[in-house]
Amino acid sequence: MKPIQAGLLGIGTVGSGVFNVLSRNQEEIQRRAGRGIAITMVADLDTARAQAVVGDKARVVADAREIIRNPDIDIVIELIGGYGIARQLVMEAIEAGKHVVTANKALLAVHGTEIFEAAQRRGVMVAFEAAVAGGIPIIKALREGLTANRIEWIAGIINGTTNFILSEMRDKGLDFDVVLKEAQRLGYAEADPTFDIEGVDAAHKATIMSAIAFGVPVQFDKAYVEGITKLGAQDIRYAEQLGYRIKLLGITKRTPAGIELRVHPSLVPAKRLIANVEGAMNAVLVQADAVGTTLYYGKGAGSEPTASAVIADLVDITRLHTVDAANRVPHLAFQPDQMSSVPVLPMSEVVTSYYLRLRVADEAGVLAKVTGLLAESGISVDAMLQREAGEGEKQTDLIILTHNVREGTMDAVLAKMQALPTVLAPIVRIRKEELA
């Protein structure tokens, strides 16, 4: 049978990996797909670089639309990234009747509803395993492997850059700024790391997982996003003393009031497997009613790990592209006419527990005032740690772990605490997730 033909838009780090892995494992892939898969055209503005990668195995062009217009191309692989030209090209490919494979989490998190509706209308597939957690097959697990389950919550370390930084801060006792420079030197962080360190990249991925888990439209604009830039080495040390580690988590949870969708640093019990995921690795924890807790671990980025996910999508499309569109796996797991309008909760309505660090005057009555404010609002204390002031010091750190409380209630209490004359610096608040 004639190989299915694909066109590749962008042959940078991931694109090169896709081309090389597909070439290297062609025989194995064909045995699994039942048909050969060939990248016959590549579009990249740097045609010389592209030609050096593909040699005489594919035709190289500078204009991506040449691939979209080519009637022999069945699948368009979008690896350009971003919201702009990538969105235009994906929509044009869909309108031209091409299936699409993309690793573009930002595009899907923001414009996914529009893209999936267009694909449904034209009867083509949009596959995006590589958009979340690189080589970890979490999309397939959520969409197919756990299809019998009612998913209750997902919590994931889904950005390798921030996990590397937090791991280094804990291991070496260094502050954020120092470790960020080292991460950039080693190539783990971009020259402009904003999307990573401010939590935006993780929020894109959490948005996609939330939509698949709960059958809701992608709603990145409703996500709560907080990065790691304000974390101090002392908070990582205090967390360790209390039996926790700090991780940047993407969390989405089903509650009676609505769906939680949030990214922020979290204290996680050190005994949890996910708390021990170190370096640039990713891990996603899924809680479901029938299967219980499952954990997915692996490389979340990189040329060949991401290429693995892209090629898995190519194989899926090759297997299914002759199948009636109504019988394919839906893009967001649930049938399009069965999508839910359950609201995403504002952060003020989220219920969780907290780590608080207060820099206070070392004098009598301070602890009583702080705990009194907590008690007035019905917030119970789970644990407390007070650093002993050194000789001649007149201030100290007070660490408090709370039980569950609504975020809006905690915000109000923190404002009252901050106003106390004996609280000498901005209060540090980090959410705590038991993940039980």
Contact 41, 8 (CB under 8 A): yes
In a 10 Å sphere around its CB, with 0-12 CB exposed, 13-18 middle and 19+ buried, how is residue 340 labelled? exposed
Look at residue 280 and give its three-state secondary structure.
Answer: coil
Residues 267, 257 contacting (CB under 8 angstroms): no
Contact 29, 315 (CB under 8 A): yes
DSSP string, 304-338: HHHHHHHHHHHHHHHHHTTS-GGGSPPTTSS-GGG
Q: Cα angle at 348 between 347 and 352, to 5 degrees?
A: 75
Q: CB of 331 within 8 A of CB of 126?
A: yes
Catalytic entry in 98, 105, 205, 299: 205
- Reply yes or no on whether 140 is catalytic: no
From residue 112, give the alpha-carbon distance in Å to each of 81, 95, 155.
14, 15, 21
CA 325/CA 178 separation, integer angstroms = 52
In whole angstroms, give the CA distance from residue 303 to residue 17.
5
Whether the Cβ atoms of residue 183 and residue 228 lie closer than 8 Å to each other: no
End-to-end CA distance of the chain: 50
Structure tokens at 379: 């917030």
Contacts 24+ apart (CB under 8 A), 290-296: 290/148, 290/149, 290/150, 291/146, 291/149, 294/141, 294/146, 296/133, 296/136, 296/137, 296/138, 296/141
Q: How many residues in the chain?
A: 436
List residues with catalytic annotation: 205
